[in-house]
Structure formats: C-alpha cells, structure tokens
Amino acid sequence: MTSDEKKAILLLKSVIFHYHGLDNEEKEILDRTAQEFDALEELQWANEFIATDYYTAFERARDYLNSIIGNLDKEKRLEYLAMVWDANNAKGFVTEMEATAMLKLAKDWHVQKELMVVVREKNK
C-alpha cells in the first residue's frame, strides 16, 4: 500500500470521526489503524490536514479523497468505505452525520448502491 493510500484511508476515517468531534474511543481506533498499516506519519498528516481548518475539513478532505480514492477500482472504493463503516460500528453506533458523510463520498465514488448492500448485510 502506498503512502498516498495510507493517507487517504486515515484521512477518510479521521474526517468521518471528526464530523461530530473526535472522542477517545475514535482516537484509539485511528491509532490502531495507523499501527496496523505502519502509517503513524500518515495519521499525523491527516490530523494536521483537519486541524488546518476544522470547519472546512470535510469538504477539503472530500476533494482530496476524490482525487486519490475516486480513481481506484470500484471494489477498492467500496472496501475503503466499508472499512470506515466497520470502524464506526466498532464503537457501537454510527451517527446520522457520519452516515450522511459516508453516503456523500459513496455518491462521489459511484458506489452508493453497493455500500447500502454492504451495510444491510453487516447489520442483519
């Protein structure tokens, strides 16, 4: 996995978690993800990206992610969104704001229907 992909995954998870304010459990999930992918520098980059302007972080991240993930094959785009859905579920819930943000990205990446299938399967 390239550094750009690691940045994209960590930014994706991080910006979704920050959508309502990052709590300790979400921070731990991000830290575990960074360790799993050997991506501590990329996590620091994602944190700085968001901290630059918290209020515009999602739209800026959306542009960045569209340029990186939007060009990957459909299965990979879906895999990354499913990974974020799973990370949110790991804390026991997905907020409406988080779900809406993920659906916006799924629409951008043309995997909206596929994400809904994945979510339904995971929530049976």
Task: List, for residues 13-56, the tens digit of each pLDDT value.
Answer: 999 998 878 889 999 999 999 999 999 999 999 999 999 999 99
Measured CA distances, 51 to 27, 29, 55, 75 (Å): 14, 18, 9, 30
- Could you report the per-residue pLDDT of 59-98, keeping only the tens digit for each? 999 999 999 998 899 999 999 999 999 988 888 888 888 9
Host domain of residue 22: 3-122
Q: What's the token pair of residue 26?
A: 């979400």
Q: What's the structural domain count of the chain?
A: 1
Residues in the chain: 124
pLDDT bracket for residue 11 (50, 70, 90): very high
Rounded to two decimals, what is the model's pTM? 0.90
